[in-house]
Structure 1
Amino acid sequence: MSSKDLSKQIIMLVGGESNVNSVFHCATRLRFKLKDHGKADKAALEKTPGVITVVENSGQFQVVIGNNVSQVFEQIMKETSLQDAEKNGKADDASESTGVLGKAVDIISSIFSPILGALAGAGVLKGLLALILSLKWISAASGTYLILNAASDSVFYFLPVFLAVTAARKFKANQFVSVAIAGALIYPAVIAAVGSTESLDFLGIPIVLVNYSSSVIPIILAVWVQSYIEKWFRSMIHESVRNILVPMFALLIVIPLTFLAFGPVGSLISEGLASGYTWLYNLSPLVAGAIAGAFWQVFVIFGVHWGFVPIMLSNIATLGYDTMLPILAAAVLSQAGAVFGVFLKSKNTQLKALSGSSTLAAVFGITEPTIYGVTLKLKKPFIYACISGAVGGAIIAVGGARAIAFSLPGLLALPTYFGTGFAWAAIGITVAFVLAVILVYVLGFDDPEAAVEETATQPVVKQGMTQIGKEQIASPLTGALLPLESLPDEAFASGAMGKGIVIEPSSGLLTSPVNGTVTTVFPTGHAIGITSEGGAELLIHVGVNTVKLKGKHFQKKVQEGDKVEQGQLLLEFDADAIRAAGFVTATPVIVTNSADYLDVLKNTGTEVTNGELLLTLIH
């Protein structure tokens, strides 16, 4: 199913655009805030091709798509007005109460998920640069290093600016005012003053200057307060000067408050989180590594993993490193190993295909398709992965591995672990992957039986063709079979009209391919639309540009609304006369609602006779 079709299907099944307060996406899933969860058809969504699963958590209706989630999200933005609704502040919170923890997770995920890609990419680049520098391939004094260091470090240095944008979207504050507040925190003169011994004050109040580059919590607190200040002033100031005075008062109030209160308090919280985590970690690295490696993917399932992101970033900002990220890589690679074990062990062709693609995604840090599509559904592989993650995480923690920059845990993140404990990180990740493969392959799991597929060369289709899980379409013509792409008509050849096949007719007798209803008969007789009893919407278009014949050489035998049976004559045409007139007679048989089906299987032969099996639609 194309991204466009999938986006339409998703919006319809979540209850329509009118039922959506807001939507955004992370690395693998669409995160909806719905007005009424009861209007969403969760079961139908989970069966939709292209959707891995659906998770309801923290007040969010999460549709797990996988790696192409951004394309689906872009289509939703094009096809709906939801983006404008969010910008205009109309995307209200979900109607149901989600509790303190749920609201906290929702806030953190909304703020951090949009920038994870930039953080992860810059983190990997930062790790690679450190590796290259240690190997003395370039000099720290060179212009090459200067530019590459700027490319890898800018996201982290200006992190308050990035967070200002996402926090403003979440708290419905003026984004440009929020960026101005973040800019003030890392203003060059302010950064220079941090290292100065001279004491400063604001209207007599002493200022505790802190280096806010790479900081997390101060700007989030500032933007949260900004949203309330703007709301209050908007209600008080006349609309004729509102656009000028509200930003002015917000800057005038929030920036001093941030330097005097939010900044120091936020920095203390960040330092407290980093110190608290370090204290717990130092109590027993082995236990900490085993617990994190075993339960990280459980946290991901429940969505509470977002709560650890500020801690990781705080660790890197205050300590210069983080010990949690390498441990989590073991949890991720154990899932990759488990799904690879499924790929090796399973005899189900569909499961093998899904497991193969999920293995590649998991190796690079994207585990949602693996978890929801394979390991969690099969249960035992998920448990084996948790055990393997615990073993790998314990090895990494005992070895004291560290991450010098934030990145998504996975194979690509290895350069960020370069330095202290790097060898232990590599060993732990390898053990987690290999052990998971062995456990799944040796101990096994309940391998689901593959659906029995009927070959497309089965001879003649009888009446009453609809079967459980599939619908069969008979050939309306006798002739040679050609691929859809061979048709000299872009609309059909590109598949834009739907999936199907082309018949080069050897006779001019066109019969009904199904039991159903004639929905369309073109006045010129060159094309007929039929809806089958099973719901398949078919278009049979005789030739290319034959509409120009204005009905010449065509004889209609049915009218719109007629009930027809498979094999009933619908149309007669003079193929030789049409060709003599200079027109192509290759006839596409199109399933115009292909998006409603998992797949459209075609007859694999070179010739077909009237009534022989042409297409099999898999529900």
Structure 2
Amino acid sequence: MNTPAPGPGTLAEQILRGVGGAENVESLTHCATRLRFQLHDGEKVDQAALDALDGVMGTVPQSGDRFQIVIGGAVANVHSKIMNLPSMSGGGTSRPQSDADVKAAVRARGRGRFAWLDNFFEYLSDSFRPLMGVLLGASLIIAIASVLDALGVVDFRAEDKSATWVFVDAMWRSVLYFLPIMVAYNAAKKLKIDPWVGAAVMAAVMTPNFTGMLAKDSGIPGITCTTNATLGTQECVARVFGLPMQLNDYGGQVFVPLLMVAVLALVYKGLQRVFPENVQLVFVPFFSMLIMIPVTAFLIGPLGIWAGNGLGEGMSWLNGNAPIVFAIVIPLLYPFLVPLGLHWPLNALMLQNISTLGYDFIQGPMGAWNFACFGATAGVLLLSIRHREKEMRQTATGALAAGLFGGISEPSLYGIHLRFKRIYPRMLVGCLVGGVIVGVLGGVNTEAFAFTSLLTIPVFSPTGVYVIAITAAFVTSMALVYFSDYRTPEERAQANAERDAAEAAEAAGAVGAAEAAARGEAAVTGDRETVAADDRELVAVGAAGAVAPAAAAAGADAAPTAGSAGEGFALAAPVAGRVIGLGEVEDPVFSSRALGEGVGIEPADGHVVAPADGELVTVADTGHAFGIRTADGIEVLIHVGIDTVQMRGEGFDVRVEAGRKVSAGDLLVEVDLDAVRAAGHPTVTLMTVLNTADVASVEPHAGQDVAAGAPVVTVRR
């Protein structure tokens, strides 16, 4: 370990020093509780110093120079402070690529059957994922307004609403209207060009100057407007530089910025090759905007709008000529229209239907799509609860609430479904089931423009048909996602391993915090104040050496299994007594196997001996814990009692010291079990294999009475 221990400074500064400094950080991200470092050299981490920091709950080394630091609920704030440090202004330093790295990157491009499809979904997902927070916030505002509308408190669609409700409209429309600018920023960032240029190009066709030309009475020469008879929308054309330019309101459009940025990336990177680096800051953005704003206004923007309007007119024709087919097509098309923003023109068609026909025929079948979408989210939520995935549980809970009560599918779609490609096929089955029911039972109409949520069910007619259809769509998608999972088996195994690692780190952090309190008490009395640190080291070693043992030790407490790989190595009982499985131990760290697989022994006496030949790498001065490493690398922890570190060595007569070679049966410590019981601590003695993840199997032999020295655990390489 080459880095100095974190010294004075803020927590962010101490953490950065502890991982080897900014120059050792390739990238840094965070999840709900953990900082996730990708380092250049994992050996430079001072794990012990990081574990000792106030505000750090635990640390989890991982393969591939990855390192996690468990912070808890304040992780986002700590991440922000680290990223704002002057030394991290670049966000980390790139790792030099070897030939193997380059080859691996090339192979990764073809990871799916259709690489372009993988890249397309990633482009969509990364363009929307950062917007989850504001999308969810806006959708919840809509949900509240929808509840009030359903209860008759306010007419949310009235043209003469008070200034109060106009202002409430602005609160959620701020996100949905300016969504194209936000998407353009993220899409440009994804394609590794200046995101502000992408945002600026999209904003140019959304300024009051541009949208003001849409008004018939704008008074601007060279503008002519007509009305689309089918959609009831106004279409205006302006003469700009002598050329006709179709004017559109691009608020809420998503397909336009996605297409625009894809073209912008080609222009931007081409200009970078033309201009020298010392003038790129000025001329690359200048020429990019000079080229792309007109291209967007004249070509890309109208293409997106024309595509949407064309779909709307096609829907009207289909419903008039084949209504059953229409009821099936609508819910099957929406999952593809919404990500591209092509569903927005259909809202105009819905309003036009209500105005001219007195009812709308689109929203009923559309409800099958929405509730299939929400059902898939419910399946993800159930799986996240089952697999203890905190971050996904929070995301799915918010998305499901926004969907069921606000009728908003975007949080589910962009936050979950587009991230996991297994969800879409299962969701489409739910869409199909709901659509078939609507079509077979004669269709569903509504006389109001409503969000398709639980609160707006009464506005649909026949209500019974609508309820049956959306329920079937919801349940079908939920069941398919839940029983077949939204992750592949490989992804599930990896996710579960990461979860177990995080839980192990958090458990170790909790133990460390409790023992830190014991250290504080020892410091006050001035008696053995360094002892708890030894036990903390054992816990830290356990968390690091058993990142995956909780998963590897599934089926704990079982008898040895036949056919286990490798030659068996027996660990003897360190004390006489009744052998129990770790699952019966009343301590969350040991019972969860965070410190590896092993056994507990209810001791018949206080004579504790070495379970195998090896070196005593750790001996707690309190005598309650010992670490032994055998000649072939098996790391064994013997822990006498639960929370006995708090006894500060009273009742423990230690007979060995760290660094000494011991043989199986050598006396380690004499323990006064009556003193342990009098102090209120369980006397169960634990023995675990800290590096369980590195061996083929660890087989405990529980449910027997043994003498000290009898075999109780078999380790197989």
Shared fold by TM > 0.5?
A: yes
Q: Which amino acid aligns with 1:244?
A: V
Structure 2 distance, partners of 1:206, 1:224, is: 24
CA apart distance, 1:336: 9.4
Which of the residues 137, 142, 151 maps onto 1:126? 142
Q: Is the 8 A contact 1:114 1:166 kept in 2?
A: yes
Structure 1 residue 156: deviation in Å? Answer: 1.5
Match of 2:357 in 1: none
Q: 1:253 and 2:318 equivalent?
A: no
CA contact under 8 A between 2:620 and 2:626: conserved in structure 1?
no
Identify the residue that residue 257 of structure 2 maps to in structure 1: 219
1:320 deviates by: 5.6
Mapped partners of 1:390, 1:536: distance in 2: 60
Partner residue, 2:152: 136
Q: Which residue of 2 aligns with 1:190?
A: 210
- Give the 3 Å change call, closer, same or farther, for CA 21–584 of structure 1 in structure 2: closer
Change (3 A) 1:124 1:524: closer
Q: What is the distance in 2 between the residues matched to 1:596 and 1:417? A: 56
Structure index of larger Rg:
2
Of 207, 229, 243 in structure 2, the residue corresponding to residue 205 of structure 1 is: 243
Q: For 2:638, what is the secondary structure of its paired residue?
A: strand
Report the alpha carbon displacement of residue 250 of structure 1 after superposing the two structures with TM.
1.8
1:258–1:613: structure 2 CA closer, same or farther, 3 Å change rule? Answer: farther
Trace 1:49-64 onto structure 2 (pairs within 5 A). Answer: none
Q: Distance in 1 between matches of 2:442 and 2:94?
A: 44
Say whether residues 1:426 and 2:442 are aligned partners: no
Answer yes or no: is the 8 Å Cα contact 1:557–1:572 preserved in 2: no
How far off is 1:259 after superposition?
1.4
Distance 1:603 1:232 in 2: 68
Counterpart residue number, 2:668: 571
Give the equivalent residue in structure 2 for 1:66. Answer: none
1:146 aligns with 2:184: no
1:132 positional shift: 2.0
Q: 1:576 to 1:113 in 2, by over 3 A?
A: closer
Partner of 2:281: 243
Partner secondary structure for residue 153 of structure 2: coil
SS in 2 for 1:571: strand
Query: Do the aligned partners of residues 206 and 332 (structure 1) sit closer, same or farther apart at CA in structure 2, a change above 3 Å counting?
Result: closer
Matched, 1:180 2:200: yes
Aligned partners of 1:24 and 1:492: how far apart in 2? 27
Deviation string for 1:239-258 (max 9, x for gaps)? 22322322222222212221
The letter for the 1-side match of 2:195 is Q
**Distance change (3 Å), C-alpha of 1:21 and 1:559:** closer
- How far is 1:96 from its partner? 2.0
SS at match of 2:637: strand
Helix, strand or coil at the partner of 2:343? helix
Residue identity opposite 1:426 in structure 2 = V
Q: Does 1:286 align with 2:324?
A: yes
Between the aligned partners of 1:387 and 1:610, the Cα distance in structure 2 is 66
Code of the aligned partner of 1:483? E
Q: Matched residues in 2 for 1:182 and 1:509: separation?
A: 77
Residues 226 and 254, structure 1, Cα contact 8 Å, conserved in 2 = yes
Instruction: Please give the per-residue CA displacement for 1:49-95, whole angstroms capped at 9, x wherever unaligned.
Output: xxxxxxxxxxxxxxxxxxxxxx9x99xx99999x968999x997843
Q: CA deviation at 1:179?
A: 1.5
Which one-letter code corresponds to 1:521 in the other structure?
V
Q: Does 1:483 align with 2:569?
A: no
* Aligned counterparts, 1:556-595, within 5 A: 556=656, 571-575=668-672, 592=690
Distance change in 2, residues 1:236/1:203 (3 Å): same
Residue in structure 1 matching 2:445, options 382, 391, 400: 400
Alpha-carbon contact 1:529-1:539 (below 8 Å) kept: yes
Q: How many angstroms does 1:212 deviate by?
A: 0.9
Aligned residues between the structures: 489
Check the 8 A contact 2:616/2:629 in 1, yes or no: no
Query: Does the 8 A contact of 1:334 with 1:432 survive in 2?
Result: yes
Distance 1:207 1:592 in 2: 71
Question: When the two structures are superposed, what TM-score results if normalisation uses the length of structure 1?
Answer: 0.56
**1:309 aligned partner:** 339
Contact 2:615–2:629 (CA<8 Å) still a contact in 1?
Answer: yes
What's the CA shift string for 1:109-156, capped at 9, x where partnerless? 443455467546634643552452354313663454234322332222
1:328 equivalent to 2:369? Answer yes
Tell me: CA distance 1:431–1:187, structure 2 relative to 1, closer, same or farther (3 Å): same
Alignment of 1:437-476 (within 5 A): 476=574
- 2: CA distance, partners of 1:111 / 1:317: 24
Note the C-alpha offset of 1:158: 1.0
Specify the alignment match of 1:5 in structure 2.
Answer: none
Distance 1:23 1:113 in 2: 14
Matched, 1:319 2:357: no
Deviation string 1:292-312 (CA, Å, 9 cap, x unpaired) is 76xx6xx9xxxx955653265
Q: In structure 1, the residue corresponding to 2:257 is in which secondary structure?
A: helix
Contact 2:617–2:659 at 8 Å: present in 1 too? yes
Please give the residue correspondences for 1:84-123 in structure 2 after superposition, counting only pairs within 5 Å: 94-96=108-110, 98=114, 101=117, 103-115=119-131, 118-119=134-135, 122-123=138-139
Q: How far apart are residue 231 of structure 1 and its match? A: 0.8
Q: Distance in 1 between matches of 2:339 and 2:604?
A: 66
In structure 2, how many angstroms separate the alpha carbons of the residues matched to 1:237 and 1:339? 49
Structure 1 residue 484, shift from structure 2 partner: 2.6
Q: 1:454 to 1:500 in 2, by over 3 A?
A: closer
Which whole-Å CA distance do the structure 2 matches of 1:87 and 1:280 have between them? 54
Q: Whole-Å Cα distance in 1 between the matches of residues 143 and 637 of structure 2?
A: 56
Tell me the residue number matched to 2:618: 522
> Given that residues 337 and 432 in structure 1 are in contact (C-alpha distance below 8 angstroms), is that contact kept between their aligned partners in structure 2?
no
Match of 1:41 in 2: none
Aligned-pair CA distance for 1:164: 0.9
| Counterpart position of 2:541 | none
Within the alignment, does 1:553 sit opposite 2:653 as a pair?
yes
Aligned residue runs from structure 1 range 372-411, under 5 A:
389=434, 391-394=436-439, 398-400=443-445
Contact 1:274 1:314 in 2 (8 A): no
**In 2, Cα distance between equivalents of 1:533 and 1:369:** 49
From the superposition, tell whether residues 99 and 23 of structure 1 become closer, same or farther in structure 2 (CA, over 3 Å): farther
Deviation track 1:421-451 (CA, whole Å, cap 9, x = no partner) reads: 5835334223556899999xxxxxxxxxxxx
1:376-395: per-residue Cα shift (whole Å, max 9, x none)?
A: 9xx9x999978854554546
1:21 shift after superposition: 13
Q: Secondary structure at the match of 1:553?
A: strand
Alpha carbons of structure 1 residues 563 and 310: separation in structure 2 relative to 1, 3 Å:
farther
Amino acid at match of 1:194: L
Q: Deviations 1:537-578 (Å, cap 9, x if unpaired)?
A: 65334575599879x9322499789896xxx55623344799
CA distance in 2, matches of 1:135, 1:112: 33
Q: Cα distance 1:84–1:125, how it changes in 2: closer, same or farther (>3 A)?
A: same
* Whole-angstrom distance in 1 between the partners of 2:447 and 2:30: 32
d(CA) in 2 for partners of 1:175 and 1:437?
Answer: 37
Identity %: 23
Name the CA shift for 1:602/1:523 in 2 (closer, same or farther; >3 Å). closer
Q: Aligned residue for 1:265?
A: 303
Contact kept? 1:271, 1:314, Cα under 8 Å: no
| C-alpha distance in structure 2 between counterparts of 1:284 and 1:154, whole Å | 38
Structure 2: 5+ residue runs without aligned partners?
Answer: 1-25, 32-72, 224-237, 352-361, 404-411, 481-553, 579-583
8 A contact 2:616–2:658 mirrored in 1: no
Match of 1:414 in 2: 454
Distance 1:212 1:330, change over 3 A: closer
2:632 and 2:323 mapped to 1: Cα distance? 60
Conserved? CA contact 2:180–2:257, under 8 Å: yes
